[in-house]
Amino acid sequence: MTRWGGSLLLVALLAAGFLLVGLGAENWGGPPRRDVEIAGRIPATVFMPGQPPPGHPAIGFTLPRPAGQRPPVVVIAHGHSADREMMSPIARSLARAGYAVLAFDIAGHGASRTPFSVTPFASEPDRLRADLKAVVDWLGAYPYVDGKRVLLMGHSLGAALVMDFASRDPRPVATVALSGSVNPALAGPLRPRNALFLVAAGDAQPIHEETMGTARQLAGVTPEEGRTYGDPGAGQAVRRSLVPGTDHMTVLYSDTAFREAVAWMDTSAGNPARRPPGLDDPRLALSAWYLPCVLVLMAGLGFAAGRAA
């Protein structure tokens, strides 16, 4: 290996080390949060707005019951073959934006010990509905949050789940379906309150068609992209928006999608008007730099191994 190549490899190694330390610090820091298990079967993480008390770690926080108005809470349901950790950038950013958040693992995913089929919502929908009901019930008795201001957000499979649940349970004040294959024929007897459909430009055609069908059903007309129909104050609002430059996965890391979701939830939860914040998770930027460093290291080590052979 040349002197220039060795220097580049050393720089990449040092940079990767510093970035790894930074990632670890950010992962252990961030908003206060704790892991819980609901109903003896549903692993979840609760995130709270604000900072942990002095001298207390962010993880496993213990806080006194909040004085005054408690924060609204967002329940986050992940997609198929994912887990709640994949949704943590959104969860952390929502906590920094003033929301309490509960992200849970759907049965058969993440830390869940409950077996499930490969097509959970199609084959065993009642179990998913029961789990989400258990989560919302649990929040109703949780002293840190306002159990009367529950909002739902789901991605992909989770989007179908939360929209279906909102058509059966009147408690969610808003539902955000993120790149979800949502059945136009909602089976529940209720109209989901304040339904927002965010669709990635690169989503599969069935997702575009099904979200359009569901939005049309709720709005009573074929909706224009980015236009709100109905009164949010009455819980009757419907909106479908296309998120440019994203696909089914990258939409999770879109500032555009996050800002629109926060604006929608602020209105639905009765929060004061503000400019919606963007995603706020420093781990994303650190990860973006970490990957090139690792690639340079791998290339350099491969080159060195080849020369040695």
The 10s digit of each residue's pLDDT in 152-186 is 999 999 999 999 999 999 999 999 999 987 776 57
Q: Write down the pLDDT at residue 307.
A: 59
Q: What is the mean pLDDT of residues 60-78?
A: 79
Alpha-carbon distance values, 202 to 144, 158, 198, 259, 295 (Å): 38, 18, 12, 19, 27
Q: Are residues 43 and 180 in the same domain?
A: yes
pLDDT tens-digit series, residues 276-286: 998 876 666 55
Structure tokens at 6: 């060795």
Q: Are residues 84 and 180 in the same domain?
A: yes
Q: Are residues 99 and 63 in the same domain?
A: yes
Please, which pLDDT band fits residue 17 given cuts at 50, 70 and 90?
low
Q: Write down the pLDDT at residue 181.
A: 73
pLDDT tens-digit series, residues 249-264: 999 999 999 999 999 9
**Domain tally, the chain:** 2
Range of the domain at 304: 1-30+285-309
Q: Write down the pLDDT at residue 113.
A: 86
Place of tokens 């914040």: 277
Q: Are residues 24 and 37 in the same domain?
A: no
Q: Are residues 40 and 87 in the same domain?
A: yes
C-alpha–C-alpha distance, residues 127 and 158, integer Å:
13
Q: Are residues 236 and 141 in the same domain?
A: yes
Q: What is the mean pLDDT of residues 139-163?
A: 95
Q: Are residues 26 and 112 in the same domain?
A: no
b/e code 163-191 from CB counts within 10 Å (16+ = b): bbbbbebebbbbbbbbbbbbbeebeeeeb
pTM, two decimals, is: 0.83
Q: Are residues 183 and 222 in the same domain?
A: yes
**Other C-beta atoms within 10 Å of 280: how many?**
17
C-alpha–C-alpha distance, residues 287 and 265, integer Å:
28
Q: Is 215's pLDDT higher than 80? A: yes
Q: Are residues 157 and 306 in the same domain?
A: no
- Output the domain CATH number for residue 47: 3.40.50.1820
The rounded mean pLDDT for the chain is 83
C-alpha–C-alpha distance, residues 74 and 46, integer Å:
10
Q: Write down the pLDDT at residue 219.
A: 95
Q: What is the mean pLDDT of residues 294-304?
A: 55
Q: Are residues 49 and 74 in the same domain?
A: yes
Q: Are residues 201 and 240 in the same domain?
A: yes
Q: Is 2's pLDDT higher than 60? A: no
Q: Are residues 128 and 11 in the same domain?
A: no
